[in-house]
Structure 1
Amino acid sequence: MSMYLQPSTREELISALGQLTDKSRIIAGGTDLMPDLRKKRPDVDIFLSLSAMEEMKEIRISDDTICIGAMATHDSIARNAEIKTWATALHHACSHVGSQQIRNRGTIGGSLANASPAGDMIPCVCLLGGTLLLLGADGAFRRIPAEDFTLGVSRTALHPGEVLFAIELPVRKDRSTAFVKLGSRKEVTIAQISIAISWDKGTRYQNPDGYLGAVDVTPVHLEEMPELIGQGPVDDAAKDRLAESLRDRIRGIRMNRKRPPKLKITEAERLYKERAVRSVVYDVFDLAETID
């Protein structure tokens, strides 16, 4: 029979982390874990629920840092006015995760720790220069850049006995951001492809940066954006150059792998992603025009 732990303080959480084994599972919102348990019925010795950890549900904002507890729900993040202002891409992503019921229950920490290639959170947190705070069974925090957290499908940099405790984002008042995704339907959809972009606030679009999601096991950094779209207004020709470059990146991701990919994509899905990338490029710049 499985043991169920539900700490409500940091001290209780640290004690619980010390009891975990490789058969234990941590429950955040449960929106991914519960369907997985029904499907696979794994042998779990300890369920560690974070639902009573009020400290991990807090969103704290200072002059230079946004600190989001890992148990903050997508809905609470989407409704936060300061996040909408200073981390707009994350606001966009959290506003369109699943259904309203999923947004009410699902958490940013659970989404990141689930490490799904189609996850909406990780491209945004990478774009925003996020740092993840990991709490260990020894009571110490380990800080890791968001770019280094996801290692593959359902694999993260979490060590045994660690939990994702909070996400820190720098407040960049000089930058604007946006996020869009394309799925099989308009609402309650899983991303087939997504893009998060940033640029200097008040410009169209100087020093652009971006991440592409749902095309590889980890988000793809778009280092080529400044060269492809320039430092000024982005016309259709510039968008098409960026879209063509991203199509080439998607083809290259598949062709350059030396072993069968863990991210299983059929040939039809690959072609869909290559063709759909133009739509998300145009969509994200259409959205960007409404910001600032």
Structure 2
Amino acid sequence: MTNLCFFTPNNMKELRQCLSMADESTRFIAGGTDLVIKLRKSSNKHWKLIDLSGMTELKYIKEDENFIRIGACTTFANIASDPVIKRYGRCLSLAASEVGSVQIRNRATIAGNIANASPAADSLAPLSMLGAKALLMDRQGNKTVCGIDSLISGVGKNNLDVGQIILEVFFPANKDVVSSFVKLGSRKKVSISRLNIALAAEYSNGDQKLKNVNVAVGAVGPGPMSAAKSASLLDGRNISKEVIESFSESLAQEVEEAIKGRSSMPYKRKAVMGLGKDLLDDLLSYISALEREECYDR
């Protein structure tokens, strides 16, 4: 018989009380899109579930002191449609709009996507490119800040301590940053990433060149893979057809090196070249719309 303890905190005081009782059998649930599947497969029949869905204090998107702050229980549907995210973290907005189905986007939360630590998680590469960090709270109520990349320890594994929770995700509100995200899914509907790429860079109309370019490829390892060599080919240069070709070929080489020996390598090596071109095509279209002061929604 399954022994299930279910806690439903509605405010921070109640949440801290629940965290103080947390142990190895404790799990957090908000959207439940990942956890419910894991619980069904688990042989453990004794669980303590802390339901965060009633925590309105953890559902927000706001610009505050030069940072964009996203509450842990904010859904991907809200992230995808929010104008602040579209302006300062476009790659995250695009990724959020492609998470699962409409139903999943209405339930799945950003903190859950991070903590689940799936290599195919759509939010990880964009968050990495935006320099995002997480605000954490432990069982004693102590708060710390951790880089998003540092939270992932392996496939389906994170570095959160027992009873430690993500309260907020935040990244710099840099008006000069432009970004993009593209994804190749395993099927046309409810698409799970087989490969995704996020790019963020600084851009100004004055010199019309990308600066401080960062690129990450997702779904090739436990966490996003930095494609620094490929990014350097775009830094400070006009994005010509020749540059796009060089960038795409470089991406293919970096992916090949990262997953050498895997059966999926030939497919992903070829696929990432097409995705790289799609990424830059989208970014250039977005920049062109910015220069014309027009709206560009992909």
- Per the TM superposition, whether the score is higher than 0.5 is yes
- Whether 2:287 is the aligned partner of 1:282: answer no
Query: 1:84-114 CA distances to partner (integer Å, 9 max, x unpaired)?
Result: 1111011101111111100000000100000
With over 3 angstroms needed to count, the CA separation of the structure-2 counterparts of 1:75 and 1:43, relative to structure 1, is same
SS at match of 2:68: strand
* 1:207 corresponding residue in structure 2: 212
In the alignment, the residues of structure 2 paired with residue 290 and residue 87 of structure 1 have an alpha-carbon distance, to the nearest angstrom, of: 16
* 1:232 corresponding residue in structure 2: 237
Query: 1:176-229 CA distances to partner (integer Å, 9 max, x unpaired)?
Result: 111111112344201111111112223343332111111111111122234323
In the alignment, the residues of structure 1 paired with residue 79 and residue 259 of structure 2 have an alpha-carbon distance, to the nearest angstrom, of: 34
* 1:262 corresponding residue in structure 2: none
* 1:106 corresponding residue in structure 2: 108
Gaps (5+ residues) in structure 1? 257-265
Asked whether the 8 Å contact 2:185–2:192 carries over to 1, the reply is: yes
Q: Between Structure 1 and Structure 2, which shows a larger proportion of strand residues?
A: 2
In the alignment, the residues of structure 2 paired with residue 6 and residue 150 of structure 1 have an alpha-carbon distance, to the nearest angstrom, of: 27
Shift in Å, 1:65:
0.9
Query: 1:36-66 CA distances to partner (integer Å, 9 max, x unpaired)?
Result: 2223353332011111111111222125111
Root-mean-square deviation (Å) = 1.7
In the alignment, the residues of structure 2 paired with residue 60 and residue 229 of structure 1 have an alpha-carbon distance, to the nearest angstrom, of: 31
Q: Matched residues, percent identical?
A: 32
In the alignment, the residues of structure 2 paired with residue 243 and residue 57 of structure 1 have an alpha-carbon distance, to the nearest angstrom, of: 38
1:105-144 equivalences under 5 Å are: 105-144=107-146
- Whether 2:156 is the aligned partner of 1:175: answer no
* 1:4 corresponding residue in structure 2: 6
* 1:260 corresponding residue in structure 2: none
Asked whether the 8 Å contact 1:25–1:44 carries over to 2, the reply is: no
In the alignment, the residues of structure 2 paired with residue 195 and residue 42 of structure 1 have an alpha-carbon distance, to the nearest angstrom, of: 36
Asked whether the 8 Å contact 2:251–2:276 carries over to 1, the reply is: no
Asked whether the 8 Å contact 2:33–2:107 carries over to 1, the reply is: yes
In the alignment, the residues of structure 2 paired with residue 29 and residue 136 of structure 1 have an alpha-carbon distance, to the nearest angstrom, of: 21
TM-score normalised according to structure 2 size: 0.90
Shift in Å, 1:244:
2.3
TM-score normalised according to structure 1 size: 0.91
Task: From 190, 193, 208, give the equivalent of 1:191.
Answer: 193
Asked whether the 8 Å contact 1:209–1:226 carries over to 2, the reply is: yes
In the alignment, the residues of structure 1 paired with residue 96 and residue 87 of structure 2 have an alpha-carbon distance, to the nearest angstrom, of: 14
In the alignment, the residues of structure 2 paired with residue 32 and residue 136 of structure 1 have an alpha-carbon distance, to the nearest angstrom, of: 22
* 1:151 corresponding residue in structure 2: 153
Shift in Å, 1:14:
1.1
In the alignment, the residues of structure 1 paired with residue 192 and residue 144 of structure 2 have an alpha-carbon distance, to the nearest angstrom, of: 31
Gaps (5+ residues) in structure 2? 291-298
* 1:13 corresponding residue in structure 2: 15
Shift in Å, 1:255:
4.0
Asked whether the 8 Å contact 2:26–2:163 carries over to 1, the reply is: no
Asked whether the 8 Å contact 2:213–2:232 carries over to 1, the reply is: no
| Paired letter, 1:250 | V
Asked whether the 8 Å contact 2:230–2:251 carries over to 1, the reply is: no
